Structure 1
Amino acid sequence: MAMRQSKLRAVSARPWLLLLCLALAATAGVMQARAQPNSIGFISIDCGFPGTTSYVDDATTLPYAPDAAFTDAGENHNVSSEHVTPELPRIYRDVRSFVDGARNCYTLPSTLAVGLNKYLFRAAFMYGNYDGLNRPPVFDLYIGVNLWKTVNLSSSDPAAPVIAEAIVVVPDDFVQVCLVNTGTGTPFISGLELRPLKNSIYPQVNATQGLVLQSRRNFGPTDMTDIIR
């Protein structure tokens, strides 16, 4: 069958205790109460989707929730209609942008109650000229106090999604994913996902070191009826 290979790099993390110093306990408590993961521990967020009702994604059959329960900052926008096609996944049809403030965060609950504290984080970005300026931004993305990735959309097609992935250990009952304005455009986000992993996999990931996806390549054929090893 077709094979894919993911290239990841190790990133050192500062002590997660610093996360507690940056987060407001009262705010975090409210966010956790309002935004619980579904029964299998997945958190799937359509950033910028209005209202309070979730929907089921046609391709994955997973429920995606609006992001209002996970952040109280930013504003919702639809991408430009010229970039919307019938094939475009629903998650990319709207964004949440953060005009105000240098650092804006999503607060996500973890699943410590079931003994899982290793996670795959995935963030998705599609500019789609949502602001009508035709100026895709560059900004920084953090998990807690640790730099995850510099998101650079300035050289990409406005309709081309950019995906960031990381695998980290979360020792607390919540974690924050933050977008930081670096003076090169307004940060925005299309989607955010959290997937619990068994603690036995990716043994190189621990409380002080995580993995960040560098690239993913498909070494298989384009015809999926072919078989290769």
Structure 2
Amino acid sequence: MREKGYSEIHVGQCLALAATAGILQARAQLDSKATSFISVDCGLPGKTSYVDDKTKISYAADDGFTDGGSFHNISAEYFAPALSARYYNVRSFPDGARNCYTLRSLVAGHKYLIRATFMYGNYDGLSKLPIFDVYIGVNFWMMVNITDPAGSTLLEAIVVVPDDFVQVCLVNTGTGTPFISGLDLRPLKKKLYPQATETQGLSLFGRWKFGPTSNTEIIR
């Protein structure tokens, strides 16, 4: 069954991806006081964190979620007053075919929304727009095709996790170095999106705004 606006991805029990060669994993635990909300600013140096002035969302550095790659700032020409701070930097993965983020302290059998964001911003100074694949565990999620260095790409999926962790993996397909700007996870009530089950998930196809009279108006 397919919900309008979404296409299916199959996310069965194989989401509980075991450690295999070529997969970089982290076993970081969230702070015991943390909620089930996970908001990661990928490429933020060290073990720092901050609260976004506009959204009031607290973002953590990705140091405890992956042990591969290197962090970079986007080129100065792509900084803009309206640009969210989480796009100022990225983590790229020039080494290894597959590199993963591990999101932990989840509830097995619970439904979650996973969001990944990407903005190239010519962070490497090469002006070469990459194409790479993103997986949830061993299941293909989406191909990321960067066509504009100043544009942002957003992926969303709704999955039922079979274990107390889930991995989001970037896979090098030989067409550019994978990178990521941000990663979020939000718990959902079980009654929402009934098409998302233990054997299949939902992947965002598109989102449209109905009602705003201004292109700058945002509905949250």
TM-score, normalized by length of structure 1? 0.85
C-alpha distance 38-177 of structure 1, shift in aligned 2 (>3 A): farther
Q: Which digits, 9 at most, give the CA deviation of each residue in 1:84-110, with x for residues without a partner?
A: 012211000000000000000001114
Structure 1 residue 17 displacement after superposition: 3.9
The CA deviation at 1:53 is 1.9
Q: Secondary structure at 1:21's aligned position in 2?
A: coil
Q: Deviations over 1:94-127 (max 9, x none)?
A: 0000000000000111431xx7711000000000
Identity %: 57
Alignment partner for residue 128 of structure 1, among 110, 121, 145? 121
Task: Name 1:187's counterpart in structure 2.
Answer: 178
Deviations 1:157-192 (A, max 9, x none): 211110000000001011110000000000000000
Where 1:182 maps in the other structure, the secondary structure is strand
Aligned residue for 1:100, secondary structure, equals coil
Aligned pair partner of 2:73 in 74, 78, 102: 78
Letter in 2 for 1:190: S
Number of aligned residue pairs: give it. Answer: 210
Name which of structure 1's ranges 168-177 and 212-221 shifts more when overlaid on structure 2: 212-221
Runs of 4+ in 1 over 4 A off after TM superposition: none
2:109 and 2:162 in contact (8 A); partners too: no
Aligned to 1:99: 94
> How far is 1:223 from its partner?
4.8
Q: Does 1:165 align with 2:161?
A: no
The reply to whether residue 43 of structure 1 matches residue 34 of structure 2 is: no
Indicate conservation of the 8 Å contact 2:109/2:163, yes or no. no
Given the alignment, which residue of 142, 167, 173 partners 1:176? 167
The structure 1 residue matched to 2:134, chosen from 135, 141, 161, is 141
Considering only aligned residues, what root-mean-square deviation do their CA atoms show, in Å? 2.1
Q: Secondary structure at the match of 1:50?
A: coil
TM-score by length of 2: 0.88
Residue 7 of structure 1 is matched in structure 2 by 5
| Bigger radius of gyration among the two | 1
**1:216: which partner in 2?**
207
Counterpart-to-counterpart distance in 2, 1:76 and 1:183: 20
Residue 16 of structure 2: aligned partner: 19
Judged with a 3 Å threshold, the aligned counterparts in structure 2 of structure 1 residues 187 and 170 are, in CA distance, closer, same or farther, namely same
Q: Distance in 2 between matches of 1:136 and 1:202?
A: 34
Amino acid at match of 2:73: N
Are the aligned partners of 2:14 and 2:137 in contact in 1 as well (CA < 8 Å)? no
Unaligned runs of 5+ in 1: 1-5, 225-229
Which residue identity lines up with residue 138 of structure 2 in the other structure? Answer: V
